[in-house]
Structures are given as C-alpha cells and as structure tokens.
C-alpha cells in the first residue's frame, strides 16, 4: 500500500514549460509547446480547447502516461518528469485515478473485478468489499457480476469512475468522460464525478470540450495549438478555498 501523501499545501500538479514532440511519418509534431500550470490541491480544473489542441496529451503527461520531451512535471510533490514506465505505474497506484472517454474496461472481467484491480495492485486487503461499495456508490450495486459487454455505455462509464475513485486518489484525471454518452447519461456521470469528488476532496483535472461541464469546475484553462491561451481563475476565486 502506498504511504499517505504529506499534508503540506503542495500543489497537486505543477507543470513547468512542458513540451511534447511526437514523431510521425510527415516529421516531428510539436504537440505541447512549453505549457506551465499549477493546480492547487483540491481544485477542480477544466482543460478545454479545440480538437488537436493537445488537451488529452497534456492529461497524459500530467498523469505519467507519457514522458514529456521537455520541461518538468511534479505531481503531488513528486517529480515524475523522468520516471520510467514501471515507476510511473507504481506512483499512480492510490494517488492518481483516470477516467477515459472510451471507458477502457477489461472485457474479460466483471464490473466488480474491474473495480477491484487497482485496489488489489495497491495491496488493499478488503479490495473486493471496497470495490463492491464503490459500485454501489455509482448506482451499480446490482450489476457487480456483469461483464462490460453486458452493460450500457453509461453503466460502463460508471464502472470506470468507480475504478478510478476506488483507491481514493489524490488526483482524478478525466478525459472527456461524457464524450461517448447521450445527454442524460452524460449528465448523470457528471453529477457523480463532481459529487463523489467533492465528497472525497480530490483534485479534479478534467479534459472536456463541453462548456456546461467546464463551467462546473473552479478553473477553466484553454489550450490552443499546444499553448495555454486562457486561464480563467474567476471560477476558482469564486469557489470556496
């Protein structure tokens, strides 16, 4: 089990001049061009911008899923900039939860098993009981033995949310969590996301192109062509500290 994070008021996420360049057949593509951003602990941040602006890539590097080409990344006080793949995976356990647009559940595992996996990897003794409780919390207490293929898109995203929140992460990353859902399902997921997050006090880093969703965050950061073009702190200022 991971040691608890220090309770000092360190920023949850700190990006300093982060760059990301990927190679392609047509030559290198500069995706992030010196992005700097500090997200205080407990803040809810929406990252918006047009398609191809680098939103998801910024989420990937911040979550340790992609190593940046330049700059520095600190998450929960730990420098993950040059972390190897396995070290980054170990770091994520219990600290970071991620929800994707495409759910990304393991099809051969039941909802319960899917939710239990990160808890088990983190060495939680009562992983299954916790997983069961998480599923109940997202309204799927009666679907625990269902496989992803037997669940609707909305239900699959709830499982994904339960899986991300199960280990009680300090930071929750969500990449277009309602992008594949109809409006009512999307609304329900958004309610759960913000509700549970508020209840547990985690930092939320949300990638979305939906204004309605972005408006529910304390802070809205707009990215265009790999650069931050607007950082609207007004929402944050209005939000309780």
Partner 1 sequence: MSNLPLAWKMARRELRGGLKGFRIFFLCLLLGTAAIAAVESLSDAFLTSLRDSGQTFLGGDVSVQLVHRPAAPAEERFLQSYGRTAHTVSLQSMVYALREGRQAERELVEVKAVDGAWPLFGAPGFTPAQNLRDILHCEDDGICGAAAEQTLLDRLHARRGDLIRLGNATLRIIAVLESEPDRISTGFSLGPHILISTKALSGTALEQPGSLINYNYKVAFSPTAEKQGATIESFRADAAKSFPDANWQIRDRSDAAPGIRRFVEQVSMFLTLVGLTALGVGGVGASESVSAFLDRKRFDIAILKSLGADGRLVFLTFFLQVMTIASVALVIGAVLGASAPFLLARFYGDALPLPPALGFYPRPLLLAAGFGLLSAIAFSVPPLGRAREIPPASLLRETVSPNRGRLQPVYLLASAAAALGITGLMLALSPSPLYAGEFLGGAIVLLGLLRLVASALTWGLRRLPRPRSPLARLAMGDLTRPGAATKGVVTALGLGLTLLATITLLDRTMAAEVNESLPSRAPSFFFVDIQPDETAAFDRTIAAFKSGTDYKRTPMIRGRITSVNGVPSAQVKVDPDVKWALSGDRGITYAATPPPGTVLTSGAWWPADYQGETLISLDQEVAKGLGMKLGDRMSLNVLGRQIDGRIASLRKVDFRNGGQNFILVLSPGLIDKAPHSFLATIRVAPKDENAMYMAVTEKFPNISTVRVKDAIAQVNTLLQQLAQGIRAASLVTILAGLLVLAGTIAAGARTRLYDATVLKVVGATRLQIALVYVLEYGLLGIATGVIALGAGTLAASLIARQILDTSFVFDARAALWTVVGGGAATLLFGLFGAIAALNARPARRLRND
Give me the residues that bind partner 1 (CB under 8 A), please: 56-57, 60, 65-66, 85-86, 89-90, 92-94, 98, 100, 102, 104-109, 113, 116-118, 120-122, 128, 147-149, 163
Q: Which is nearer to partner 1, 92 or 222 (CB)?
A: 92
Edge-to-edge strands, sheet with 171-175? 96-99, 171-175, 203-207, 44-48, 219-224, 227-232
Helix (H, G, I), strand (E, B) or coil at 177: coil
Min dist. Cβ of residue 17 to partner 1 (A) = 20
Q: Which tokens hold the place of 188?
A: 């329900």
Q: Cβ of residue 232: shortest distance to partner 1, in angstroms?
A: 27
Say which DSSP state 181 is in: S
Angle (nearest 5°) at CA 93 between 12 and 39: 10
Nearer to partner 1, 37 or 115 (CB): 115
Which tokens in the block code for residue 162?
A: 């339960």
Instruction: CB nearer to partner 1: give 166 or 186.
Output: 166
Angle between helices 153-165 and 183-200 (to 10 degrees): 10
- Give the nearer residue to partner 1 in terms of CB position, either 145 or 199: 145
Can you read off the two tokens belonging to residue 76? 């929960």
Minimum distance between the CB of residue 75 and partner 1, rounded to whole angstroms?
14
Q: How far is the CB of 238 from partner 1 (least distance, A)?
A: 33
How is residue 144 annotated by DSSP?
Answer: T
The nearer residue to partner 1, 89 or 234, going by C-beta atoms, is 89
Of residues 39 and 127, the one with the C-beta less far from partner 1? 127
Rounded to whole angstroms, how far apart are CA atoms 94 and 87? Answer: 13
Secondary structure class of 136 (helix, strand, coil): helix
Task: Please classify residue 121 by burial: count the beta carbons closer than 10 Å to its beta carbon, then call 0-12 exposed, 13-18 middle and 19+ buried.
Answer: middle
CB of 233 to partner 1, least distance (A): 29
What's the min distance (Å) between Cβ of 185 and partner 1?
A: 17
């Amino acid at each position: 089990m991971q040691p608890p994070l220090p309770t000092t008021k360190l920023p949850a996420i700190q990006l300093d001049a982060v760059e990301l360049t990927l190679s392609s057949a047509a030559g290198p593509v500069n995706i992030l061009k010196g992005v700097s951003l500090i997200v205080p602990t407990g803040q809810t941040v929406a990252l918006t911008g047009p398609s191809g602006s680098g939103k998801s890539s910024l989420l990937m590097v911040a979550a340790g899923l992609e190593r940046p080409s330049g700059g520095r990344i600190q998450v929960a006080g730990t420098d993950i900039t040059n972390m190897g793949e396995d070290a980054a995976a170990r770091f994520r356990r219990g600290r970071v939860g991620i929800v994707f647009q495409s759910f990304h559940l393991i099809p051969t595992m039941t909802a319960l098993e899917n939710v239990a996996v990160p808890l088990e990897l983190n060495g939680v003794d009562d992983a299954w009981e916790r997983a069961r409780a998480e599923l109940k919390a997202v309204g799927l207490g009666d679907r625990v033995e269902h496989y992803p293929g037997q669940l609707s898109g909305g239900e699959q995203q709830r499982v994904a949310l339960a899986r991300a929140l199960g280990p009680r992460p300090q930071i929750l990353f969500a990449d277009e969590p309602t992008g594949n859902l109809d409006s009512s399902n999307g609304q329900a997921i958004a309610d759960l996301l913000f509700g549970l997050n508020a209840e547990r006090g985690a930092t939320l880093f949300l990638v979305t192109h939906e204004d309605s969703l972005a408006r529910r965050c304390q802070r809205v950061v707009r990215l265009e062509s790999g650069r931050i073009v607007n950082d609207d702190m007004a929402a944050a200022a209005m939000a309780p500290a």
